[in-house]
Structure 1
Amino acid sequence: MSNRGKTGIACCAVIFCGLIHGGIAQAEPQPSPVPSAWELTLQPTEPTRIVVDLGGVKKTFWYFLYTVTNNTGEDVDFHPEIVRVSEIETEATASQAQKNPGQAPRITPEPAIIGLDSRVFKAIAERHQRTHPFLVTPVKAIERLLQGRDNARTSVAVFPDLDPRASKFTIYFGGLSGEQTSKPNPTHNPKKAESEDNPRFFVIRKTLAMPYTIPGDERTRPTAIPVLGRMTWVMR
């Protein structure tokens, strides 16, 4: 994942903590109601699982395919930043969660795997050979995207297996829009030098949020089909 992607995850975590611990009430930036910069067209498939034999060890991965098309009227650099944020809910009380952290609610951000094992990509490509014959690896997806349908690019976002306790997750797909803004870092320490770990501002970008719920319980979720909610644009 790029440094920009790491910064995006850190931005969300730091802002969230700052709002809680600092008691700061700030309105979250919202994307423009109409596109204010270039915007690519995305066609994703639904997230699904695949089991791959990695040298005698079978591992489960989640993935989805996507096709991105540039109808903006100009060539643009395509740098996808894709993150899955899963949520584990709990009925434990605050005191119970404090005594047993394993019972506490948990939010886990996981960036899509960029340096994908070739065996994983091969298994996915073979599964979709008929419908997506021009599938490229996540690394090859990162380059200039020319205009028009004939130059559309199809790739894959792959994630580790989900904890069966997770009842929902959201996939955030960045890199589809040129719209961006900056937001003050609520935990910035002015007594220290400004750095990647202590920035004064975070750059946040228009990002597509795709929320899913996983029906069932811990026993049935490993085979359940996720249900897509309402996709929205957010600043992240």
Structure 2
Amino acid sequence: MKSSYYLMFVILLMCGVCSFGAPKPAVVQRGGTWTVDIKYEDPQQIEFRVEGSREVQRFWYLIVTLTNNTDRDVDFYAKSELVTDTFEVLGSGRMTPSIVFKRIKLRHQSKYPFLELLEESGHRLLQGADHTKDIVIIWPDFDAKAKGIRLYVTGLSNETAVIEHPVKKDADGNALKVFLRKTLELSYKVSGDAAFRYDAKLMFEGQRWVMR
């Protein structure tokens, strides 16, 4: 048990150092650097009852609309994480039954008839509004004790930066290089009683771009 707490402490320390030393995204993008336009809905939750069981699984999802208003078609290799203030980190798409996406798509079919799952949305964003994509990002339920979460979406820009790792060294004793990508960060406050999870809501607190 002590070793687990120690490991968590080391990880948090490293994350703190990396965040402190990380550069910020450029205010004015350099030539050749692009960022796609994004709009998003408020996150929602959905329940899924396991067939033949009374067990209920809960998921959270975010619908985003991406438009490539740059001067070219761009590569699209996105990933997303949900991070709680209790230090839980959840990758999108993890342990998500296909029926969950189908039910989300059915729920929003009038507004988003061509809704795609992030993990199945392809690896190119074509230029122009005619090629706008509506994408849903899904996470399993997070720690009910959390009072705040942050959603991170990477892959919306090709802007990168390199910093030195605060701890790890290479064979010559030099700090290893850490590659960071421009990432959208959305912050939310969690409202509601943990005992009534179905009634929990996420209250928007802010958006910013970070290097992560």
Normalising by structure 2, report the TM-score: 0.84
In the alignment, structure 1 segments of 5+ residues that lack a partner are 1-12, 88-105
The verdict on how the C-alpha distance between 1:35 and 1:217 changes in structure 2, with shifts beyond 3 A counting, is: farther
Aligned to 1:30: 24
Residue number among 41, 46, 56 corresponding to 1:58 in the alignment: 56
CA contact (8 A) 1:205 1:235 kept: yes
Tell me, what secondary structure is at the counterpart of 1:150?
Answer: helix
Asked if residue 69 in structure 1 is aligned to residue 63 in structure 2, the reply is no
Instruction: Answer whether contact 1:184 1:201 (CA < 8 A) is retained.
Output: yes
Partners of 2:116 and 2:159 lie apart in 1 by: 26
**1:216 to partner: Cα distance:** 4.0
Residue identity in the other structure for 1:84: L
Cα shift readout 1:152-204 (whole Å, capped 9, x = no counterpart) = 1111111111221110000011111111011111121334899xxxx811110
Q: 1:151 aligns with which of 131, 142, 155?
A: 131
Inter-partner Cα distance in structure 1 for 2:167 and 2:40: 36
Instruction: Decide whether aligned partners of structure 1 residues 158 and 75 sit closer, same or farther in structure 2, where only a CA change above 3 A counts.
Output: same
**Contact kept? 1:85, 1:108, Cα under 8 Å:** yes
Match of 1:204 in 2: 180
CA contact (8 A) 1:136 1:155 kept: yes
Higher strand share: 2
CA shift, 1:15, in A, is 7.3
Pairwise mapping of residues 58-97 of structure 1 onto structure 2 (< 5 A)? 58-87=56-85
> Is 1:226 equivalent to 2:202 in the alignment?
yes
Q: Secondary structure at the match of 1:209?
A: strand
Residue 44 of structure 2 corresponds to which residue in structure 1?
A: 48
Q: Is the partner of 1:31 in helix, strand or coil?
A: coil
Bigger drift between 113-122 and 155-164 goes to 113-122
Q: Letter of the aligned partner of 1:74 in structure 2? A: R
TM-score by length of 1: 0.76
Question: Quick one: distance in 2 between partners of 1:178 and 1:30?
Answer: 14
How many angstroms apart in 1 are the aligned matches of 2:129 and 2:20? 41
Supply the distance in 1 between the matched residues of 2:119 and 2:89 (Cα, whole angstroms). Answer: 21
User: For 2:127 and 2:94, how far apart are their aligned partners in 1?
Assistant: 24
C-alpha RMSD of matched pairs (Å) = 2.7
CA distance in 2, matches of 1:19, 1:135: 34
Change (3 A) 1:24 1:145: closer
CA offset at residue 110 of structure 1? 1.0
Q: Deviations over 1:176-235 (max 9, x none)?
A: 1111011111121334899xxxx8111101111100001244335641321111201111
| 2:146 is the alignment partner of 1:170 | no
Structure 2 unaligned residues grouped into runs of 5+: 1-8
